[in-house]
Structure 1
Amino acid sequence: MKEEDLDSLMIKSYPPGIKRHIQIPEIGIYQQFCRSASKYASHVAIDFMGNRISYSRLKQEIESAASFLKGLNLHKGDKLTIMLPNIPQYVIFFFASMKLGISVVQMNPMYMLPEIEYELNDSGSRNIVVMHDMLSKVLPLKEKMLDNIIDVRVEDYLPPVKALLYKAVKKGKSEKLAAPAGIIPYSGKSRNPAADDESIDPYNDAALLQYTGGTTGVPKAATLTHRNLLANVNQLIEWFPEDFKESISYLSSIPFFHVYGMMTAMLTPLMQGSTIIPVPDPRDLKMTLNIIKKKKPTAFPGIPTMYHSIINYPDLEKYDISNIKLCISGAMPLPLELQKKFEGKTGGTLVEGYGLSECSPVTNISPLLPEWKNRRKPGSIGLPLPETYEKIVDIDDGITEVPQGVEGELLIKGPQVMKGYWNRPEENKQILVDGWLHTGDIAKMDSEGYFYIVDRKKDMIIAGGYNIYPEEVEKVLYEHPGVSQCAVVGVPDAHRGETVKAIIVLSDKSVTEDEIKKYCQEKLAKYKVPKIIQFTDSLPLTPVGKIDKKALRHDKN
């Protein structure tokens, strides 16, 4: 489909009031934040456990941190690794880096030494911000590959009483660590003079190196420019219903180190004058529910496992979650039954979106207007965001567009598409062709421009010459009333090459393997029916909360 034809189709399919073409400011991220801070100076930017930080104060904190970084001899073009949970220092050092033209490398604080070493070495980052409780993870790398370890403490941004309680709980538990040269404590209490802003080329200067598995191979960093990230911010805000375009509150539970969390729970809210309510550990459901009950956030970007955990919490009736009105689910498919149950509990709107680290990350969302609930399309990731172009091409040649409704590889073009993978010129030639990003995802498009992900190309199971998409099998399993959670993977098979294995968490323990197989046989072609059924009490999750299929594939059970 030609780009102008997709434009015409989107104009017909978009909800009222949403523009297909938008203006994206040609400035740096920090400059855009300054506009927000000026307009909403007295509004609360961060509400961290009761410590309410206004936009004007946050700007001062960022200016001070930028001067601190400059004092450590960090300059434009350098890299700063941020290895923190969702605490105020994450926001402060992120924007301080943007001010100075430093590229942020986002790192999972749950990583172990080999993973930390790999990303530091690959990115060339020689400076890291880490929480004091996690210092021992990076100390072995100090002499080998780090110039500075910036040591921050969560209690520095807690309200006074909570800070004392936190210290009391930690007393005697904290590791006694020697402090070699290069470990620099940062409390945020000193006020350094403001450093000059660096001149930013939004189209070429890298704001973020975001590590991802990509479509193939080892982890690699998607290079996201200031323009990429600001484009996605403005695309999302344009997509929101009018009442949600500015000055709302967000439950910022999804980790900032994940590009989806960074974009939907930190960057976009702060660019629209909203309040973010960071949750340091999203797995602490009791804390999360208490925050929802007390702070009454309006928006809750998340992933299905988060929503699933909340609606299945044993004492949910003790908490009022009815203030949640706007939820965008990403990172994995959203089961229809989960969507219905969560909306029933909150009275809000929960829709599925889609994106990739390579796209800053959001490219598609279903309409968010409450009155459009009856027009939603189950299983669809929605429509391409403003300025986003998509097409479906033949899986084998990667070029020929396939007819409407036919499955093929999804290609994406738009201002949010990455500059390329960091230091991967040959791979960039394969994945970025004439401005189009090859996603590696198998998808189809219907007559109204709604897209549907069939499955990841790399997750496809090939059994006896047949292509099998795990998501298709999982959708059938989720329809069984006795299935609570499931994952489908391909495992080696001497005869078929691979065979289908389903790992299932039951809500009804009386369900048997034979019953599951018979149920699938009624809904799937024979070659798609799982040959191996494994029941388990829980599925392994990645730190972000996605089902860890890599771990399941390597499980010998």
Structure 2
Amino acid sequence: MMFKSIPEAIIQHSFDNPDKLCLVDDYGSVTYKEYADLILKGITCLFSYGVKRKSKVLVESSQTIKYLAIQASLQLADAVFIPIPANCSNEKIQDFISKVSPDFLILNSKREGLNFVNILYFDSFENSVFNVLPAQVSKYPEPNDVSEILFTTGTTGSEKGIIISYDNNVALAENVIHGAELKSDNIEFILSPFNHSHGLRRYYANMYIGASVVMQNSVVYLTNLFEKMSQFHVNSMDMVPSALSIILKMSGGELGKYSKQLRYIQFGSAPLSEKDKETLRKILPDTKLLNMYGSTESGISCISDFSRDYKQRSIGKPAKNSNIMIVDDNHRIISSSENNPGLLSCKSRANMIGYYGENASSIKDVMCDGIVYSNDIAYIDEDGDIVLLGRKGDILSVGGYKFSPEDVENIVLKFNGIADCACIPVNDSTKGTTPKLFIQLENQVKEELFDLVGLRCFLSERLESYKIPEFYEFISKIPRTYKGSLQRNLLK
């Protein structure tokens, strides 16, 4: 299978398997032929509204067929697709506008107060596609053309626009297909948002191979979710950890009923807690459980199967198109080990072109000579697995011992009454740094009644002495992104 872009793959599948189920959302479903027709008519509409080649178009996301169709229409029209989160405030949209100076803005519904001229609405497209002819595609995008600009979530700082090529997306699709052993008869429920790289790239992988995708506006509508799983015979899923937490809390073990039906569940975009991993292994003994490690800049670079032969903190082995290296602070490759970790770096076809608005020299600390350098501290063990310790600056060094804050957090979460927690390093005049633990209690637990002495004893029985926090602070909410990523920088 050799396609130069995801849109080309979709159009070809519409010829090869026109009646095959392509997409399902809350409003209906389309076959590959119907989806291709929507895309081609969307191109006609875009041109009629004044969109041209290389036009930059901000698009408000949604978990819908019409959103994904417009995305593909823009790409086949040789415009640049720039997704933004659904239900952004006007202030946030203006911020995106100032960052990329788009030519057009496409929104889910009308709103007042935006300082921008060329605003289009999805309703206009829905009304227009019935009255236009599908465009004729004479030329598909070239591999090195710009496909989209994706914004990072700003977990570790301000949001950045990541420039992605069509070949980047094909390489990413190949990583997913190879790592998950994805087949063309796949019917995957994607619960990850489509404005973010994680959700989009799972959709791309399924479209590339000619599989089917089911989506839903919100994970909280669990009755609808499980009905779709049964109705469409969903055999795989993708979600971020925060979505899993909702499913487990609100439905108990309902997900376990699909153990024999589900080939795999992919997780990514944020670390999955050890507690949730244990729960999944228990309720889904027949399902492959995959953790996809990566970033918007480099896509999926490592894949681990934690349903079997699981190593704590391991992010698995390199993905199909990824060459993983461990380097020092000067970007020199080192022979890494548990006692000699370094910065995880990746050379891959999937690596971004660059950051929007910044030249190569200004981002050399992040990307140079096709290699993306992360701030993640890791080493490669004797089995060739990559072991992730944490982000540079988050790693604790106490009395000469280095360890990940997750070593502490995973144990703390097993103590009764704790809903969430975060461990960070704080300065210590004697040891250099020492652990501090932030605790979010479960709703029914009162701070003055919480057994802090019991927690200390609990930790002393399960952790080395240097890992036990010296300072404790109760807070109402541990700061996390919508994906579930811990925002430690807000606690420092």
Q: TM-score range by the shorter chain?
A: 0.7 to 0.9
Q: Which residue of 2 aligns with 1:180?
A: none
CA distance in 2, matches of 1:286, 1:456: 38
**How many angstroms does 1:472 deviate by?**
2.9
CA distance in 2, matches of 1:447, 1:188: 59
Q: Would the alpha carbon gap of residues 37 and 117 (structure 1) be closer, same or farther in structure 2, given more than 3 Å must change?
A: same
> SS at the partner of 1:125?
coil
- Distance between the aligned counterparts of 1:115 and 1:123, measured in 2? 13
1:290-346 CA-to-partner distances (Å, cap 9, x unmatched) read 433444411111122222322232565599434333111111222334223224323
The residue that corresponds to 2:349 in the other structure is: 415
Match in the other structure for 1:274? 211
Aligned counterpart, 1:335: 273
Which amino acid is the alignment partner of residue 544 of structure 1? K
3-state DSSP class of the match of 1:486? strand
The farther-off stretch of 507-516 and 64-73 is 507-516
Cα shift at 1:231: 0.9
Residue 350 of structure 1 aligns with which residue? 289
- Give the deviation of 1:286 after TM superposition: 4.3
CA contact (8 A) 1:381 1:450 kept: yes
Amino acid at match of 2:326: I
1:230 and 2:167 are equivalent in the alignment: no
Going from structure 1 to structure 2, the CA distance change for 1:471 and 1:202 (only over 3 Å counts) comes to: farther
Cα distance in 2 between the residues matched to 1:493 and 1:292? 52
The reply to whether residue 259 of structure 1 matches residue 197 of structure 2 is yes
Structure 2 CA distance for partners of 1:398 and 1:56, relative to 1, 3 Å = same
Q: Name which of 104, 110, 113 aligns with 1:140.
A: 113
**Matched letter for residue 219 of structure 1:** E
In structure 2, what is the equivalent of residue 161 of structure 1? Answer: none
Deviation of the 1:451 alpha carbon: 0.9
- Residues 321, 350 of structure 2: 8 Å contact kept: no
1:155-554 to structure 2, matched below 5 A, reads 184=124, 186-187=126-127, 189-197=129-137, 199=139, 202-212=142-152, 217-241=157-181, 244-264=182-202, 266-314=203-251, 316-317=253-254, 320-322=257-259, 323-346=261-284, 347-359=286-298, 361-367=299-305, 373-394=307-328, 396-405=329-338, 406-425=340-359, 426-460=361-395, 469-480=404-415, 483-489=418-424, 500-506=436-442, 509=445, 512-522=451-461, 523-526=463-466, 529=469, 531-534=471-474, 536=476, 539-549=478-488, 553=491
Whole-Å separation in 1 of the counterparts to 2:16 and 2:276: 38
Per-residue deviation, 1:107: 0.6
Letter in 2 for 1:227: D
Normalization by structure 2: what TM-score? 0.87
Q: Distance in 2 between matches of 1:107 and 1:527?
A: 40
Q: Which secondary structure state, in structure 1, belongs to the residue aligned with residue 147 of structure 2?
A: strand
Maintained 8 Å contact 1:76/1:198:
no
Q: Structure 1 residues 247 and 317, CA, compared in 2 at 3 Å: closer, same or farther? A: closer
Letter in 2 for 1:478: L
Counterpart residue identity of residue 399, structure 1? R
Cα distance in 1 for residues equivalent to 2:398 and 2:126? 55
Aligned position for 1:122: 99
CA distance in 2 between partners of 1:39 and 1:534 (Å): 59
- Indicate yes or no: 2:41 matched with 1:64: yes
Residue 119 of structure 2, aligned match among 149, 155, 168 = 149
The answer to whether 1:86 aligns with 2:63 is yes
Q: Give per-residue Cα distances to partners, 1:208-256, cap 9 Å, x unaligned.
A: 1111157964211111100000111122212233xx4112211121111
Counterpart in 2 of 1:176? none
Structure 2 stretches of 5 or more lacking a match? none
Distance 2:390 2:482 in 1: 22
Q: Which runs of 5+ in 1 are unaligned?
A: 1-22, 154-183
Partner Cα separation in structure 2 for residue 281 and residue 383 of structure 1: 32
Compute the displacement of 1:262 (Å): 0.7
Superposition RMSD in Å? 3.1
Cα separation, 1, equivalents of 2:25 and 2:184 = 20
Q: 1:40 and 2:10 equivalent?
A: no
Q: Would you say the 8 A contact 1:215–1:440 is kept in 2?
A: no
**Is the CA contact (8 Å cut-off) linking 2:8 and 2:140 kept in structure 1?**
no
- In structure 2, the CA distance between the partners of 1:490 and 1:342, relative to structure 1 (3 Å rule), is same
How big is each residue's C-alpha offset from its partner over 1:396-434, in whole Å with a ceiling of 9 and x where there is no partner?
323241334431100100100001111112432221122
Asked whether the 8 Å contact 2:151–2:196 carries over to 1, the reply is: no
TM-score (norm 1): 0.78
- 1:450-474 CA deviation, whole Å, 9 max, x = no partner? 1121112254468899866432322
Q: Is the 8 A contact 1:486 1:503 kept in 2?
A: yes
Q: Aligned with 1:236: secondary structure?
A: helix
Q: Contact 2:10–2:210 (CA<8 Å) still a contact in 1?
A: no
